[in-house]
Structure formats: C-alpha cells, structure tokens
Chains A and B, each alone.
Chain A
Amino acid sequence: MKMNGARIMLECLKKEGVTTVFGYPGGTVINLYDELFNFKEIRHILPRHEQAGTHAADGYARATGRVGVAIATSGPGATNTVTGIATAYMDSIPMVIITGQVPTALIGNDAFQEVDIIGITRPCTKHSFLIRDVKDIALTMKKAFYIARSGRPGPVLVDFPKDVQMSQGEFHYPEEVEIRGYKPNLSGHPRQVEKAVTMILAAKRPVMYVGGGAVLGGASDELTLLARKLTVPVTTTLMGLGAFPESDPLSLGMLGMHGSYCANMAMTNSDLIIAVAARFDDRVTGKLSTFAPHAKIIHIDVDPTSIKKNVRVDLPIVGDVKDVLTKMIVQADKNSEKLAEFSAAVEPWHLEISTWKKKHPIDYVQSTATIKPQFVIQKLRELSDDDAIISTDVGQHQMWTAQFFQFNKPRTLLTSGGLGTMGYGLPAAMGAQAAFPERQVITICGDGGVQMNIQEMATLVQNGLPVKIVILNNNFLGMVRQWQELFFDKRYSSTCMELPIDYIKLADAFGAKGFLATKPEEVEDVIRQGLQHSGPVIMEFKISREEKVLPMVPAGASLNEMVLNA
C-alpha cells in the first residue's frame, strides 16, 4: 500500500515501539503533523519551546531506558533543539530527533527557515541522517534507533525534508540492520575479566568508581551483587547515583568536586580503582597529575575512546557493563575460596574509610531562623515515595540533591551532568511524568534555572502532568555566587536576581497551585501539601541566601584538597 513519507515516518516510530513524542509543529513538518492528527498510537505532547521538548524526550529516555523522540520544524525549531541534543550527547542518552527541512530542491539556497542542522549538530550527535528519498525513510529510521540505543547510547538526528514527507512510497520496515562501520564491542574479553578479578583479590585498598553507564546499561543489580560479594566500597559519580544503593554500608556517596570526604580520600589512597562505565571527568578527578597516585586502574567501558582519554589505565575491559559485571561475578564465584582471605585483607581499609566517614560526614548547620536547603532535600526524601523520580536543574540545588537526597534506585535521578544545562529540570520531569503518570515526579530547581524553561508550566497543566516543582530560592545564581565569594572577593557580578518573583501567583497564572515556605517550621507542611495536590505544583522555599555547597575541591586542586568548612 502506498502512503506518503510523513505517514511512513509515523509507521516507523510505531514499529520502534514509540508511544510518546515531544514536538513542535511548523512549516516544514506540517505534513508530518497532518498525519499525526489521526494517528492514535502515538501520543504527541506539545511543549512551549523546542529546547524543552528535547529535554522532555531526554527525561523520558532517562526514566524509562527507551529511546526518547523529539520533533521540531526546520530553522529556528531545529536550532532550539541544539542545547537539548548536546545535553543528551554529553550524558549518552538515547534519543532520536526528527527535524523538518526545506524541500530538497531548495537546500543550500538560504530558503525561509533553512538551516544546516546536520552541520550545526555534528559535534553533539552520535550520528545524523538527511533523508533524501521516500524509499530511504524506513531503513534510515531503523538505523537511527539502532545507533541511538546500542553501544554507548546517544542522540541521533534525522533531517526530514518537506518534499520527502509529501512523496508517495511503500512501507516495509526492515527486521534487521547491518551497518558495516558500526559494530560496538559488547562482550567483555574473558581473559581481561579473569585478570580483573585476580587484581581485585590482590588489592588491599580497592574502590569501585561507578559512572552513569551503569545506570544506562541496566547493571545496577550486577554491580550491587559484585560489590557485596567482594565487599568493595563503592563511590558513584553524579550520573552514577542510583546505580548502587546509597543506603548500603559499602556506599561512599558521590565523589569529585562536591563529593564526600570519604569518597575523595578513598580514591586518593586506593591501590586499585575499578572504574565501572565512568569516564574520569575533570569534575571527578580534580588535578590529574595527583589523581589516585597509588592506584592501579581497571576501566570497564563500552566506548573505547573513554579508556585512556584522561588517565592511564592498567587493565582496560571494553564491553557492555552488564555483560562484564556478570562475567566478573562468575569469575569471583570460581575464586570463592579466596574471598574470605580477601575480606580479611581489606578489613583495615574498611576501618580507615569508616574513620573518614565519621570525621567529615556530608553535613550542614541547621538553623531555626532560615530555611536550610539541605534540610528541604532531607525532608523531601523523607516525605516522598520510595520510587519517586527526581530531576534537577544545574547549580547548588543540584549538588545538595546529590549529597542529601540519598538515591537507592537507578533511573530515579535525572540531571544534566556532562553539559550542566540550566533549564533542564522542569522539562525533563515533564518527560518522565509522561512516561510514568502514576509515579511521583519532582523537579528540584534553583530560582535561576527554573526561569529558563518556566513556560513549560503550561504544558504540565494542559497535559495533566502533575510534576511537583521545588524551587530553592536564594535570589542568587547560587553556584556562581559561591565561586565569586570564594575566589573573587565576593564581587557578585550579575549573580543577584534582584527582582523577587511571586511564584504563587505565577503558578496560579498557569492554572497550577503554588505553596511558599519562608520559615523552617513551614517546610514539612508545604512539602506534604504540595505532594498531596493532584495537579502540577510549585513549592517555593526561601532559603538561607549565602549557603554554600561543601565540601568543595576548588577547580584545579587535588581531590584530597577539600574545602570542608565555610
């Protein structure tokens, strides 16, 4: 049966199991939207800005593990997706972005709303395609989804010219796809796995350093099993939070610039780091020349480019993290007679770590006069559901969330780690809520970031997405202010937001509900009321204005050179 290219595209999405897309119509996707009008299998959510639509698709992908889909028109629609694409790229989030394009005959002519979006996004996509013939749509989409979700996942952009949408063609979706230049190595080499376990069993001060890949690779169970079997302490990156339960005694919490004292001390004093799908980002390593000076490094990653990019590696294992950890568990079991001896050998290391934990726990000074942001986060954890999904924006509130919320399950924290995108939190929560209408979805924002995509309140209300927006309001761009306080003699250049916003009225204007707490004793009540409300909610907390995120490793300092007190 013949159908037009727009319809073929929708049939492809259906074949890929896509049920929800986030998109914004326009001139070069009007044909696609015309087909979407009667296409009941796909729910279309209209954000109020294409950037937010792309973040929503990203949030959907992070919460579900499926490929998120965003649609935008050509030109400005397409350029508005760029921040969302770059955000997903840095955090390896599987996404397909479909952009309209001017008719093929006009490409290159500076046509109305024409932009070379493939060129613009080349450095921040895993791959991209321009579909030039209706016959190529199905194979292209099969490849796009396959590339997006396999290996190290990432965003794939498909540029879809208007005339191709209008052309008639047959729809045949390929069952299999073969891309001769793309063969991700998923199976960890057995000899390397053997060596890894031997190295671990010979270590005296081992630590597992776990990144976002463990979440993306669905390897939380294997990771938890292996760590407990070997009794190796575990620290995670920001992206790795939730991969290993922070409630477990083996957990050291997050490491890095705002990581825990014990995690950073453990890394610095370790004799063996087992890096699990983490990429030794500069926010994690601090000064490279003094990073983990005594440690041998085992690095497990599906992406060979991550290995030896920033640090020397003694034992690389390229492969899917779940596969490698599963093999390591089997290998550890084969050595079960050595486990007791190993446990005894690492006992002093555990004692040393617990001393560090006790010496400088993640903590703050409570106040009866002003609301401490850390207190709000702790109360939120206490009063929210166990399986609540938390998204954050970027800045102080993000770090307080990472430090104080305590994540015990994978895919419960959605946060822009690599790119550090302000404005991410609200639309990402929107995407997660669209995927899980029954779960509690809370976005924790600062007053800076929330204003970057505040228009999405309208999308929440229109689509019945009851996202709870928590605003930790210090009327500052707090993280930059903190740097200005510590490193620029308190010259608060352009970090004071000056104009106080009435968020209750704002919520009201969008048809949502607003709550405000200005005193510590109001915090619990506001959270209870906010979480109980059936629709979208803003909970604003006026927090102590110059509270800092601590500990802090100043940029360029060694990981053990932490600023611990104000």
Chain B
Amino acid sequence: MHHTQHTLSVIVENDFGVLSRVATLFSGRGFNIDSLSVAPTNEEGLSRITIVTRGDEQVLEQINKQLYKLIDVLKVLDFSDGSALERELALIKVSAEDDSRAEVLRIADIFRAKIIDVTPKSYTIEATGNPNKIDAILELLRPLGLKELVRTGAVAIGRGAKGWNG
C-alpha cells in the first residue's frame, strides 16, 4: 500500500475536551500524528486543528470519516493535493562558538531566519516556512550542534480568495 503524508485542517467547536476527542480518536484507532497544532480562529466559537498524518488511501478515508463522526467537528479539509499554503515556525538554539558563529549567521540569512537571542556560546534562531524548509535549515545547523529545538507543527490555509466555508 502506498503511504502518503496528508495535511488535514479540522474546523471544530471550541468546546471543552475537543482536542482530547481528536487525539483519542487517533491513538485509539492507531492513526499516525506527525504533527498537530490548534488555536481559535476568527470565527466565534471555532478552533482549527491542523494535523499532519500518514497512511494509505483506505486509512486516510477512515481518518476523514472518523473525524466527521465526532460531534464537535464541522469540517475536515484535506490539503494533500498541494491546494494549500503550509507554514511552520521553529525556534532553534544552536551552538555558536569561535569560527562557527559566522556560519550560523550565514545559514540563518540564507533561510531568512531571525536571530532572537544571542549568548557568547549560542544563537537562538526563529525560522518560519514550509515544513520542508524547516527540515532543510535543521539539516544544515545540525552538524554545528543543536542544543534545543521547538517546532509548532504545520498550519495550513487554502490558496485563493475564498475562505474555508466559501
């Protein structure tokens, strides 16, 4: 079976325990979560959960249907077809001593990342972009010594003029 990564955007009632219902669904049925982020939206009483998950066609169909089956879920958007813009933010604390200090700055500059904290031995970098871009900057920084990494997980929004509900 062909496994593909999917980014799902789930519009939910901003109710007590809704995140727990979604998480329980994934763990209880053995679905993968590569990343998950959640926050309220511009619409009163609604939150948006972005889940990056993997599976074959049948599994993804089940994930979709099972999410819809939750009473608090209003809409599930599947952005696997490249119809969306995806962004992620990473905070990266990287060793930066002697000759590696300039290298870290160069890498940050190439990725248009910001230095948000500096010590004599480290830089803390704020990088945003498509999750692939975050992976790429990490690959370059890793040999220099990653001290700490925090990623938000992807958020996604559809391209074009329309909102999710038209």
Contacts and interface: CB of A to CB of B under 8 A. Distances in A.
Contacts of B17: 118-119, 122, 128, 130
Nearest to A147: B71
Given A303-B69, A304-B65, A304-B68, A180 B16 contact: no
Nearest to A181: B74
B38 to A, nearest CB: 16
B28 A123 contact: yes
B71 A182 contact: yes
Nearest to A307: B65
A229 interface: no
Interface in B73-92: 73-74
Interface string A159-191: 000000000000000000001111000000000
Contacts of A304: 65, 68-69
A181 B14 CA distance: 12
A305 B24 contact: no
B72 A122 contact: no
Nearest to A310: B58
A305 B69 contact: yes
A308 B60 CA distance: 11
Interface residues of A, number: 18
Of the listed residues A119, A128, A305, A308, the one surrounded by the most CB atoms of chain B closer than 10 A to its CB is A305
A33 to B, nearest CB: 26
Interface string A292-307: 0000000000011100
A90 to B, nearest CB: 13
A127 B12 CA distance: 14
B24 A180 contact: no
Interface SS, B side: helix
B71 A122 contact: no
A360 interface: no
Interface in A288-344: 303-305, 308-309
Given A123-B28, A180-B74, A309 B69 contact: no
B149 interface: no
Contacts of B16: 130
Nearest to B63: A305
B69 A122 contact: no
Contact of B24 (A123, A126, A127, A130): A123
B100 interface: no
Interface residues of B, number: 20
Contacts of B62: 305, 308-309
B28 A305 contact: no
Interface string B92-123: 00000000000000000000000000000000
A17 to B, nearest CB: 22
Contact of A181 (B20, B24, B66, B70): B70
Given A118-B17, A308-B61, A127 B71 contact: yes
B13 interface: yes
B82 to A, nearest CB: 25
B159 interface: no
A179 B68 CA distance: 13
Contacts of A122: 17, 20-21, 24
B13 A181 contact: yes
A119 B69 contact: no
A363 B61 CA distance: 43
A399 to B, nearest CB: 29
Nearest to A128: B17
B68 A119 contact: no
A180 B73 CA distance: 9
A302 to B, nearest CB: 11
Contacts of B69: 303-305
A123 B26 CA distance: 11
Of the listed residues A118, A122, A127, the one surrounded by the most CB atoms of chain B closer than 10 A to its CB is A122
A122 B73 CA distance: 15
Interface of A: 118-119, 122-123, 126-128, 130, 147, 179-182, 303-305, 308-309
9 contacts: A122-B21, A123-B28, A127-B71, A128-B17, A180-B74, A181-B12, A181-B13, A181-B73, A305-B66
The 6 A-B pairs of least Cβ separation, nearest first, read: A305-B65, A127-B71, A181-B74, A182-B71, A304-B65, A123-B28
Given A119-B17, A304-B68, 13 more contacts: A122-B20, A122-B21, A126-B71, A128-B17, A130-B16, A147-B71, A180-B74, A181-B73, A304-B65, A304-B69, A305-B65, A308-B61, A308-B62
